[in-house]
Chains A and B, each alone.
Chain A
Amino acid sequence: MPHAVRQFWLLTLFAALSAGCGGSAPPAADRGVSAAPGVRHPVVVRTPLGPPGVPTGTFDEKGRPVTVACATCHTTKPANADAKLGTPLIQFHQGLVGKHGILSCTSCHNPADGYASLRLADGKGVPYSQVMTLCAQCHGPQYRDYQHGAHGGMTGHWDLSQGGRSRLNCIDCHDSHTPKYPTVSPAPGPNDRFQTGGGHE
């Protein structure tokens, strides 16, 4: 995607975050430049690298999976428009588990340009780097919380006058095909007298 577009995206998000717009404020893109005084370090939202490759099932001489662009097949071979997430596919995309509402592949993947981009509900294409715009169509409350710093992991500074901040995007934590956060094994618990019934705290 063009670098300038990505920068604009980051800037608008940054503007929304640093201005901390209220619940009734217009979306980030309409707010323009932040009016915050003094030096404000940037809030950088991680962006996905680009269109994902589809594993072919073969491996190169170093043992890495060989992937191909979607268009490699889909320029000549039409996608199965009836395929829903959760329907096992018999060719390619194997092992892809989908559990994301009633969405089908083309709900998000854009057939207009050989699946090299995503598409919004109104048919407009958006690059993969703007995946959050796509997610936000259905997950408005989460996107609102995200814009106000109340959803999503981050590292860096709470005080932007002293340093910047790095934020994760939706698909850093949520697998877009099975977005429910996975079950994990917890880190070890405390080893004190209140919990183990003996010894020192």
Chain B
Amino acid sequence: MSERKKLSLPVLGEVDRRTAVKAGAATLGLAAWAAAIRPWFEWTAELNADEVLQKHYRELTPEQLQVILNKLTDEARKQSGKPAVVKDHKPIPGVSFAYALNLSICIGCRKCAEACHVENNHDRPSHQSYIRVFEMQKGGIDFEKGNATYDHPVPAKDKYYMPVQCQQCENPPCVKACPIEATWQESDGIVVVDYNWCIGCRYCEAACPYHARRFNWEKPQIPANEINPNQSYLSNRVRPQGVMEKCTFCLHRTREGKLPACLEACPTGARVFGNVLDPDSEIRWVLENKRVFVLKEELGTKPRFYYFFDK
């Protein structure tokens, strides 16, 4: 047992096994490090340090937020070729929004969904909208028998039409589902998403019993001349790819005192919107005088979107 043959790997000649393992590990480590820093080499004009290192919307100082808004405004102007502005609309103190929809009047023309599509800078190819209009069989509220892709003159015989959008629940399951608090409820009742914070896990989409949330599978494609230039950080600015989005009761309009786009588009006047804390508001009259109901009340989500029939 005097002369033990020195072992070596065939391809590496005189290198011993230990050295080869070390070299292999070093190579793997280098490769991993290169992959990790790759985004820094793919730096483009669309990215900047403010965005990559941006804090949560609610932790931003006014100055930091302004920097981000300026940048988003620049992007929106470049994208649309119009003097677009991305603002940050804050909730109005003493305002709590509610919406009501008269199912006796709605004829299912989808004008509301179309207005939402245009107003909120939705992806054109998927014809996305926050509103889905169900054609329902008269005699019950059974969404299993509802049809949202009807394509025939409306209203059809023995059908009624039920537009469904975000119910802006007072007890929102989507907010609870979010693992990173990228979505929350504001003081006026609107549930919003920080698109720059959302990681696109889609838990909120699964949690919503109304299927009110949408996912941006791709970067929304909108012809430049069709982009709505009045934008808001939490609302209708053109969303990045891979984030959730949802109806915000058009907060970029309603927090300026205007009516939501879906209401203005409704040709039959089936929609009523307003501040539920104002005893003289139209919405209060409806809630006090009509037999309103909410969808899936048994879930305890406490929607602030009400439906009613005239008779």
Contacts and interface: CB of A to CB of B under 8 A. Distances in A.
Contacts of B266: 153
Interface stretch (A58-66, A122-130, A188-196): A188-196
B284 interface: yes
B169 to A, nearest CB: 20
Given A154-B259, A183-B155, A201-B215, A149 B149 contact: no
Contact of B148 (A152, A153, A195): A195
Interface stretch (B1-9, B38-46, B63-71, B109-117): B109-117
Nearest to B290: A150
A20 B280 contact: yes
B151 interface: yes
B111 to A, nearest CB: 6
Contacts of A22: 285, 288
Contacts of B256: 162
A150 B283 CA distance: 8
B225 interface: no
A190 B148 contact: yes
Nearest to B254: A158
Name the interface size band of chain A.
35 or more
Interface string A117-141: 0000000000000000000000001
B108 interface: yes
B113 A187 contact: yes
Given A150-B290, A184-B109, A190 B282 contact: no
Interface in A1-55: 17-20, 22-23, 36
A186 B108 contact: yes
Secondary structure at chain B's binding surface: helix, strand, loop or mixed?
loop
A161 B266 CA distance: 23
Contacts of A148: 282, 285-286, 289
A18 B155 CA distance: 33
B126 A158 contact: no
Interface string B146-177: 00111111110000000000000000000000
B268 A189 contact: no
A150 B281 contact: no
Contact of B269 (A18, A152, A159): A152
Interface in A94-151: 141, 145, 148-151
A71 interface: no
A155 interface: yes
A161 B105 contact: no
A163 B285 contact: no
Contacts of A173: 267-269
Given A173-B269, A190-B129, A200-B126, A20 B285 contact: yes
Secondary structure at chain A's binding surface: helix, strand, loop or mixed?
loop
B273 interface: yes
Contacts of A93: none
B259 A181 contact: no
A85 interface: no
Given A148-B286, A183-B154, A188 B110 contact: yes
Contacts of A74: none
B144 interface: no
Nearest to B131: A190
Interface string B254-265: 101111000110
Q: 3 smallest A-B Cβ distances: which pairs?
A: A162-B257, A149-B282, A159-B257
19 contacts: A20-B284, A20-B285, A149-B274, A149-B285, A150-B290, A154-B259, A158-B259, A158-B273, A158-B275, A158-B282, A173-B269, A183-B155, A184-B153, A185-B153, A187-B113, A189-B127, A189-B149, A190-B128, A201-B126
Given A184-B107, A189-B149, A191-B127, 12 more contacts: A22-B288, A145-B310, A148-B285, A150-B290, A151-B102, A154-B264, A158-B273, A159-B92, A186-B108, A188-B110, A190-B148, A195-B148
